[in-house]
A and B are shown apart, each in its own frame.
Chain A
């Protein structure tokens, strides 16, 4: 280990520049930025459950959420909103968490449908996760089974208002209380559950290292951590050519 990779001790935040803001226009500028943020939202809708069927009407001609500046986006890296539309089965929840961790902050989560609030109709099902905010912070819930497109639009308006006021910051909670969320995830998926995203390093990077970031659960993470292997393309060209000409992998002959 060289000096370069030395990490701060647990609990330390990286030194964040906290210079005094001298520009009198700074607040005005912040306001403008928040306004712009709230009016151009890209939404990744993960069709986890049946609530997804009310999204096409909400997106297309009749209710048209594009007039609010909201557009569907297909990749998590570019999306601002993660829409979880309905019950999340355990198999789906893993993917939802991976998707959430890949999104760049600030990020917002909307839980559509009663099933994300408390399990809804499937309260006694063995296959679904009951409360979404045990596993990731949720900004807004839209209850109903299923919520009408008007309700979806109203919920999105609420989120827009929150972003404009600067109060939609639950994503910070994921960093501050990572141990709690990870614990719930491990309870469901097993102790060796890990994701490719290094949330602890990100918490340091954002200066959001809180007292709940590290704990006994994150300690387990280190115990089970397998080093991530870089996936290298292994191209054995002679063998491939040989296989192609029907000689089998053993017969490595010169191919002209």
Chain B
């Protein structure tokens, strides 16, 4: 029904405009900005604007002792700090040729997997919140806290643990710890059907996430994508299986993958990884009582510790993708040069910029969260 005086008017064509998202915005993970050029609500171009979290890690580490650097390594990626520690420690061990006791290696795997579970729960919450479903965020946060409680008991810190040192780990598990881990894992597994109902099979979410931010396998390989984002395009590549470190060779687990390569597939891969991580952690819990021995091999006085000259490149699979440290020593008490190869730098800058072209404005936040990028690691 038209009003009486209605007359079709010729509107000027809507023109391009710019929109800044961030650095402080609920749709952005952390302190990070994204500049968009839009036409209507279609994105013509996206430009990442990083640097808000830059601390100059690689420079800072050159000025500190090998052992002091342990304290700042986890701070590179806040939601998933353990892989940072472990891969730095692995690099130092490789340079010094240290033999790590087996028990310490199993303890490291336990930590890595618990950290992966915590990080994935965090990501589900954030991703769901960008589609307007805040309950998942509340649930994920509450369940993640259970894992953080375990970390606190084991290491003394909720988020940053600094539990690994070159040569092993700092202390052994407390009494009854494994039972509590088992109970938490059982509880988390029993929650999965609830999460399925709330998020993974919920049509509100499925319809929003399907077909958003799609990349093909060729594109993913070309852009340096790793981790769950790569596995969501159908390529089963996982450092834990293809270049095993610690005791992953002795463990049984699947590499989940999906074909679609969109936000939906990436979330599903993470959900399946959660199950696999629970499975791995269970195996560690079962194996640990049988593995006796020390948790640390002797190291020289850490305050006057000259690491032999050489360079080491060690990589691990973090919850975001392949994470590696390149550490060079010139035989001194401090690293000569360190470099982090972080997954988020590719995901949050190149990949996000490319995926945002042609996307709709409301999907930008979702694309970023589904890539699980971690701004502090982009900036270092």
A interface list, Cβ under 8 A from B = 44, 46-50, 52-54, 56-57, 60-62, 74, 87, 89, 91-92, 95, 99, 121-122, 124-128, 145-146, 148, 235, 237, 240-241, 244
Contacts and interface: CB of A to CB of B under 8 A. Distances in A.
B53 A240 contact: no
Given A50-B75, A122-B60, 15 more contacts: A46-B24, A48-B52, A56-B137, A60-B141, A61-B139, A74-B25, A92-B53, A121-B75, A124-B60, A125-B55, A125-B60, A128-B55, A145-B160, A146-B159, A244-B13
A240 B15 contact: yes
B23 A95 contact: yes
B206 interface: no
B138 A240 contact: no
Interface string B9-47: 000110100000001111000110000000000000000
B55 A60 contact: no
Nearest to B134: A60
6 tightest A-B contacts by CB?
A60-B141, A50-B78, A237-B12, A61-B142, A92-B52, A60-B138
15 contacts: A47-B31, A54-B158, A57-B144, A57-B148, A74-B25, A74-B26, A89-B53, A92-B23, A92-B31, A95-B52, A121-B71, A124-B63, A125-B59, A126-B59, A128-B55
Interface string B52-71: 11111001100100000001
B376 interface: yes
Contacts of A57: 141, 144-145, 148
Interface residues of B, number: 38
Contacts of B63: 124
Contact of A61 (B79, B141, B376): B141
Contacts of A61: 138-139, 141-142
Nearest to B76: A50
Nearest to B380: A127
Contacts of B12: 235, 237, 240-241
Interface string B140-172: 011011001000000000111000000000000
B29 to A, nearest CB: 9
A241 B11 CA distance: 10
A103 to B, nearest CB: 13
Given A121-B72, A124-B60, A244-B13, A56 B141 contact: yes
A240 B13 contact: yes
Contacts of A50: 75, 78, 159, 376
A52 B24 CA distance: 12
B88 to A, nearest CB: 15
A36 B40 CA distance: 43
B331 interface: no
B132 interface: no
A240 B3 CA distance: 30
B51 interface: yes
A196 B376 CA distance: 29
A54 to B, nearest CB: 7
Contacts of A99: 24
A53 to B, nearest CB: 5
A96 B322 CA distance: 33
A150 B61 CA distance: 31
A126 B144 CA distance: 34
B160 A87 contact: no
A243 to B, nearest CB: 9
A127 B54 CA distance: 7
B115 to A, nearest CB: 13
Contacts of A128: 55
